[in-house]
Structure 1
Amino acid sequence: MTSLMSRRALFAAGGAALTMALAACTSEDPLAKQANAGDNKNYIAGDGTVHEFASTERKDPVAFNGTLFDGSTVDAKDYLGNVAVLNFWYAACAPCRIEAPDLQALYTDFKADGVEFLGVNVRDEKATAEAFERTFELSYPSVVDKDGGVLLAMTKFVPPSSVPTTLVLDKQGRVSARIMGVAEKGTLKALITSVLAES
């Protein structure tokens, strides 16, 4: 009887330890938690984590090309010499709707400084994307990326299911900062101002 009780106590302790270990693993990975939640919200929103890369830590210039919703084409090389902001979004993404007015405001604020903004729409048809742009009065262009071409080219910086994600590119076309999740206005403004000040 005592032996049976001891075994039960050991099993209970082991189960509790396993539960705590699993909780510790998942608590440090908010993206994994969302992916495993099974709530069918169709996006994984980052937690607003900001990564800023010192000039000496930046990799090669990004490379991508795509077609805008107006039919014109765009290439990463078009932005060389200017600071650029790339925002990955789609219309039904709730965090994308939260950040849209701030992105437009920052585009307006920094336009005179030569800062370029480019949306990368990862899911929508033209009519849906344009309705979103009208609703939030977005005046900067967006790439049609339903085929995932731009997203695939940027997977070093943008996890495929993490929308929204915002990248700031320096004048050499290198990623100087990344925000995974809603781009808080003050944070993004500081990141743009910082890279603009670089010689």
Structure 2
Amino acid sequence: MSRRSLLAAGGAALTVALAACTTNDPLADQANAGDNKNYIAGDGSVTEYGASERKDPVQFAGTLFDGGKVDAADFPGQVTVLNFWYAACAPCRLEAPDLQALYADFKPQGVEFIGVNIRDEKAAAEAFERNFKLSYPSMMDKDGGVLLALTKYVPPSSVPTTLVLDKKGRVSARILGVAEKGTLKALITSALAEN
């Protein structure tokens, strides 16, 4: 067989092999798009957990960008919203104004909002907070400690992810992707209404 024939046969075999490997995998499609998102985008799905389905109260500790400490042991008795984000995440930018508005609406009712920044240094995180006029605190989680601790209860498998914790500190709802304002408001209101 000539060299040209050998190369042609090899190329055809490679084309067939690669075609057989292609599937409709949205994560692979996103990675192949090359648009530098650098995150796994959530689909906006909402999961609510009935009181009997909820696991134990979450346990983790973290440090806020202002140096303060956060301990999940302090959460019971109040509804808490945890939002996983980072500054270059486009969906995080999209939802930030709504999160701030909901925080302002629910703060008088004792609802706490805490951001969990999974990637940024302090300067980038603070610039994001200034830009979107966020007045609730965020903690640093570049080492993934908070994220890892929460996977025992419910996996925050995309960025952004928003968790609503009930008055006992248990995960009552999870939003994967952008937290739509009306949806998150309903989830917080529902958690507030529980005993």
How high is the TM-score relative to the length of structure 1? 0.82
Cα distance in 2 between the residues matched to 1:32 and 1:63 = 33
What is the deviation of 1:39? 4.1
1:158 aligns to 2:155 (yes or no)? yes
Of 52, 57, 77, the match for 1:56: 52
- Report the counterpart of residue 12 of structure 2 in structure 1: none
Partner AA of 1:132 in structure 2: F
Task: Tell whether the 8 Å contact from 1:31 to 1:46 is kept in structure 2 after alignment.
Answer: no
- Report the counterpart of residue 61 of structure 2 in structure 1: 65
Runs of 4+ in 1 over 6 A off after TM superposition: none
- Report the counterpart of residue 42 of structure 2 in structure 1: 46
Question: Secondary structure of the equivalent of 2:164?
Answer: strand
Cα distance in 2 between the residues matched to 1:195 and 1:36 = 40
Cα distance in 2 between the residues matched to 1:32 and 1:152 = 24
Task: Tell whether the 8 Å contact from 1:158 to 1:165 is kept in structure 2 after alignment.
Answer: no
1:123 aligns to 2:119 (yes or no)? yes
Task: Tell whether the 8 Å contact from 2:156 to 2:176 is kept in structure 1 after alignment.
Answer: no
Cα distance in 2 between the residues matched to 1:47 and 1:37 = 17
Task: Tell whether the 8 Å contact from 1:58 to 1:175 is kept in structure 2 after alignment.
Answer: yes
Distance verdict in 2 for CA 1:144–1:94, change over 3 Å: same
Distance verdict in 2 for CA 1:82–1:33, change over 3 Å: farther
Cα distance in 2 between the residues matched to 1:31 and 1:78 = 37
Task: Tell whether the 8 Å contact from 1:122 to 1:145 is kept in structure 2 after alignment.
Answer: yes
Distance verdict in 2 for CA 1:32–1:52, change over 3 Å: farther
Q: What is the total number of aligned residue pairs between the two structures?
A: 176
Cα distance in 2 between the residues matched to 1:173 and 1:83 = 8
Distance verdict in 2 for CA 1:48–1:32, change over 3 Å: farther
What is the deviation of 1:140? 0.4
Task: Tell whether the 8 Å contact from 1:91 to 1:97 is kept in structure 2 after alignment.
Answer: yes
Of 174, 181, 184, the match for 2:180: 184
Question: Secondary structure of the equivalent of 2:143?
Answer: coil
Distance verdict in 2 for CA 1:109–1:46, change over 3 Å: same
Question: Secondary structure of the equivalent of 2:129?
Answer: helix
- Report the counterpart of residue 195 of structure 1 in structure 2: 191
Task: Tell whether the 8 Å contact from 1:102 to 1:185 is kept in structure 2 after alignment.
Answer: yes
- Report the counterpart of residue 132 of structure 2 in structure 1: 136
- Report the counterpart of residue 145 of structure 2 in structure 1: 149
Distance verdict in 2 for CA 1:176–1:36, change over 3 Å: farther
Cα distance in 1 between the residues matched to 2:27 and 2:176 = 10
Question: Secondary structure of the equivalent of 1:92?
Answer: coil
Cα distance in 2 between the residues matched to 1:32 and 1:53 = 30
Extract unaligned runs of 5+ from structure 1: 1-14
